[in-house]
Amino acid sequence: MDISFLGTSSGTPTKARNVTAIAIIESQGSDWYLIDCGEGTQHQLLHTRLSLNSLKAIFITHIHGDHCYGLPGVLASAGMNGRTKPLTIVAPKGIKEWFEATQVHTQLYLPYELTFVETEQFTEQAFGQFAVASTKLSHRVPSYAYSFTEVKVDASLNIEKLNALGIPQGPIWGKLKSGQDVEHEGQILRSAEFIRYLNKPRKVVVCGDNDTPEILRAECEGCDVLVHESTYTEALASKAKEAGHSYAKLVASFAQSCELPNLVLTHFSPRYQLDSEAETSMNEIQTEAQAEYSGNLFLASDFDTYRLSKLGELSLVLEK
Amino acid sequence: MDISFLGTSSGTPTKARNVTAIAIIESQGSDWYLIDCGEGTQHQLLHTRLSLNSLKAIFITHIHGDHCYGLPGVLASAGMNGRTKPLTIVAPKGIKEWFEATQVHTQLYLPYELTFVETEQFTEQAFGQFAVASTKLSHRVPSYAYSFTEVKVDASLNIEKLNALGIPQGPIWGKLKSGQDVEHEGQILRSAEFIRYLNKPRKVVVCGDNDTPEILRAECEGCDVLVHESTYTEALASKAKEAGHSYAKLVASFAQSCELPNLVLTHFSPRYQLDSEAETSMNEIQTEAQAEYSGNLFLASDFDTYRLSKLGELSLVLEK
């Protein structure tokens, strides 16, 4: 499964970074999921292989503009490009109302069905290869993390057990391996009892704005990758007037305490420049996080694609 | 005065063209006016010298998404970047209501005052160096053109007349030259009676979506530059299902009949490719327009800046 960053700036876009949008891409086929949709997300998509026709669902973390102002454009363009498949949007209260007001005032008609699910009412739901769950975070407005856990994992059959019980090789074995329970000679054979998973299910947690990483401890159980905002360094966080955001040290020390194998930081304040000579540079975020965290640390850039292998190894496979 | 194109595509953005936004820039200083504000306008601005702090007013031609979905982002970013100066938005009915719904649902607070003027109620108003007027066009929803006419034009005093009337050289002459009427020995001296304009006032008409250029005949009187959509060629216009748009021949033949000196076409369907070998190429629009129009014809590209000289000559001064 891949994680593609379409925007990695907080608040306003810069020449190098757009505002937030993240794609989770299934490991087979072209289906994908969009988490957040800052203004210009449809423009960023033009430079990727992702098609609005293969978009399975949109998840919005919170209703601030830098996370949702691209939604009307993405939905309108999907329609103009011929999408007819229904689309689900999981979003906090307010997004549906705003989008419906947008449709009315700007006379936007969509040639496909939209279903809104309020994150406040959302517990867990299957979307394609994933079970998606939400966790409430701490921010100035209701903000959520979404976790994506693989539903189907490569498995082998416990052939010794099947033979010992005298279950004949054939369609029954195939069904059990594909996860189906089977009735055989008046008995229910449970697939789960005959399967050996070759790997543990992959799990990625993608967070909205959040000033308390600790709130994620339970959700980070068994998690391979945490994608979390690091708007500031500790020094700038204390100077910034606005509350509700995390800084590198806070997130990194939390990730260390959870023994998280992979941490991707994003949503950087526009003050942080790529130029290491700049007054406020991305190097500071890197250095501050590295001092706390011994796992695999990544600072996302726009158009970075990270691949999570079946073994839970994360690597950057595509850079801009 | 300059005309900068920030977006020249209709409906959806392409890799080469954003959706509509056009800047009119005053000939002195850095004040400017934005006409339409498609999604991604604030991103385009990052690649120009235009500052959201020097933006004097926004004019929206109509409420379709490709002309207005960038408005919340532009207004929010102006605030985050420290704007405190009030801003006027002239826009058709619906934009104010949509923006206010956006503010409520996405908790957007602006640190400056916004004044909305409904285009339906707008006749003519002075903005900086310009008198701005609107003309109703023909489209699927109410759509307008905005004309920008210079208010102050270089002038010389009619010295012979002043001397003949015995008006002494000094402060009186200065006031008359700057356009002020003056009381002198119980008589009102009207500035206009002592001034010789060196050039006629420059006038630019920028149009929203419109399927009937003829509607602009009166507004094109004395106009130096007409900026008009040419979404299609004649062949594609008849095939396109949607109504309400113009094609190259229609606009060009109208411009010819008005003896307009300069015509800039924009708002091209994403079907038209820059590549002259493409199935549907920009060359077709150029060829179709040129066959009808003998004035100066330009097909706008994103980041093109055209300068209108005091003599009414239009030239491309900046290309991407």
Going by C-beta distance under 8 Å and a sequence separation of 6 or more, which residues neighbour residue A165? none
For residue B305, pLDDT beyond 90 = yes
- Calculate how close chain B gets to A48, using CA atoms only, in Å: 11
Residue B66 bears catalytic tag: yes
pLDDT of residue A274: 77
Of B72, B80, B97, the CB nearest to A105: B97
Of A76, A81, A94, the CB nearest to B65: A76
Which pLDDT tens digit goes with each residue over B165-184? Answer: 999 999 999 999 888 899 99
For residue A241, pLDDT beyond 80 = no
For residue A192, pLDDT beyond 90 = no
Give the active site residue among B36, B66, B211, B302. B66
Q: Which two tokens stand for residue A9?
A: 């700036």
Q: Is B31 annotated as a binding residue?
A: no
**Quick one: which of A218, A43, A21, A9 has its CA closest to B12?**
A43
Residues of chain A with CATH 3.60.15.10: 2-153+198-318
Which pLDDT tens digit goes with each residue over B250-270? Answer: 999 999 999 999 999 999 999
Contact B18 A105 (CB under 8 A): no
Nearest CA in chain B to A98: B105
Give the separation between CA B161 and CA B181, rounded to whole angstroms: 16
pLDDT of residue A275: 76
**Quick one: which of A54, A50, A60, A49 has its CA closest to A19?**
A60
Which pLDDT tens digit goes with each residue over A249-278? Answer: 999 999 999 999 999 999 999 998 877 777
Of A12, A80, A98, the CB nearest to B102: A98
Contact B105 A101 (CB under 8 A): yes
Which pLDDT tens digit goes with each residue over A207-237? Answer: 999 999 999 999 999 999 999 999 999 998 9
Q: Does A17 touch chain B (CB under 8 A)?
A: no
Q: Is B172 helix (H, G, I), strand (E, B) or coil?
A: helix
Give the active site residue among A2, A31, A36, A66. A66
Q: Is A227 helix (H, G, I), strand (E, B) or coil?
A: strand
B14: chain A residues, CB-CB within 8 Å:
46
Q: Does B142 touch chain A (CB under 8 A)?
A: no
For residue B42, pLDDT beyond 90 = yes
Q: Does A46 touch chain B (CB under 8 A)?
A: yes
- Helices (runs of H) and strands (runs of E) counted in chain A: 9, 19
CA distances from A94 to A62, A63, A137 (A): 9, 7, 17
Of B77, B97, B106, the CB nearest to A64: B106
CA distances from B144 to B118, B136, B215, B221 (A): 11, 5, 11, 17
Nearest CA in chain A to B38: A73
Which pLDDT tens digit goes with each residue over A84-107? Answer: 999 999 999 999 999 999 999 999
Q: Which two tokens stand for residue B214?
A: 């003829």
Rounded percentage of chain A residues whose pLDDT exceeds 70: 99
One of 1.20.1250.20, 2.70.50.30, 3.40.50.150, 3.60.15.10 is the CATH number of B2-153+198-318, namely: 3.60.15.10
Which of B98, B104, B109, B143 should be substituted to probe chain A, the one whose Cβ sees the most A Cβ atoms within 10 Å?
B98
Which pLDDT tens digit goes with each residue over B54-111? Answer: 999 999 999 999 999 999 999 999 999 999 999 999 999 999 999 999 999 999 999 9
**Range in A191-200, B4-13, B14-23, B301-310 with the lowest mean pLDDT:** A191-200
Q: At what angle do helices B248-257 and B282-290 cross, to 10 degrees?
A: 30
B185 close to B168: Cβ distance less than 8 angstroms: no
Contact A94 B81 (CB under 8 A): no
Give me the interface pTM, i.e. the ipTM. Answer: 0.91
pLDDT of residue A238: 85
Kindly report the average pLDDT of chain A as a whole number.
95
Collect contacts of B102-105 with beta carbons under 8 A, ≥24 apart: B102/A98, B102/A101, B102/A102, B102/B72, B105/A63, B105/A94, B105/A95, B105/A97, B105/A98, B105/A101
pLDDT of residue A257: 98
pLDDT of residue A152: 81
pLDDT of residue B137: 98
Nearest CA in chain A to B67: A106
pLDDT of residue B165: 92
**How many CB atoms lie under 10 A from the CB of residue A197?**
12
DSSP string computed for A119-169 = GGG--EEEETTEEEEEEE--SSS--EEEEEEES---EEE-HHHHHHTTPPS
**C-alpha A120: how far from chain center:** 18
Give the separation between CA B305 and CA B22, rounded to whole angstroms: 10
- Calculate how close chain A gets to B65, using CA atoms only, in Å: 6
Give the mean model confidence (pLDDT) for residues A72-78. Answer: 98
Going by C-beta distance under 8 Å and a sequence separation of 6 or more, which residues neighbour residue A37? A21, A58, A60, A67, A68, A69, A70, A71, A74
Phi, psi of A260 (to 5 degrees): -70, 130
Contact A106 B70 (CB under 8 A): no
Strands A225-229 and A262-266 turn out to be: parallel
Q: Is A220 helix (H, G, I), strand (E, B) or coil?
A: coil
Q: Which tops the pLDDT comparison, A4 or B29?
A: A4
Contact B106 A98 (CB under 8 A): yes
**Range in A133-137, A262-266, B232-236 with the lowest mean pLDDT:** B232-236
Q: Is A113 helix (H, G, I), strand (E, B) or coil?
A: coil
- Calculate how close chain A gets to B275, using CA atoms only, in Å: 18
**How many CB atoms lie under 10 A from the CB of residue A149?**
20
Q: Does A18 touch chain B (CB under 8 A)?
A: yes
CB contacts under 8 A, B 23-42 vs A, are 39-40, 42
Q: How confident is the model at residue A198 (pLDDT cuts 50, 70, 90)?
A: confident
**DSSP at A201:** P
pLDDT of residue A280: 84
pLDDT of residue B96: 98
Give the separation between CA B113 and CA B126, rounded to whole angstroms: 19
Of B11, B43, B98, the CB nearest to A102: B98
CB contacts under 8 A, B 226-245 vs A, are none
For residue B241, pLDDT beyond 80 = no
- Helices (runs of H) and strands (runs of E) counted in chain B: 9, 19
Contact A72 B94 (CB under 8 A): no
Give the mean model confidence (pLDDT) for residues B44-49. Answer: 97
DSSP string computed for A24-54 = EE-SSSS-EEEE---TTHHHHHTTSS--TTS
pLDDT of residue B48: 97
For residue A310, pLDDT beyond 80 = yes
A97: chain B residues, CB-CB within 8 Å:
101, 105
Q: Which two tokens stand for residue A278?
A: 């700049």
Nearest CA in chain B to A68: B106
pLDDT of residue A97: 97
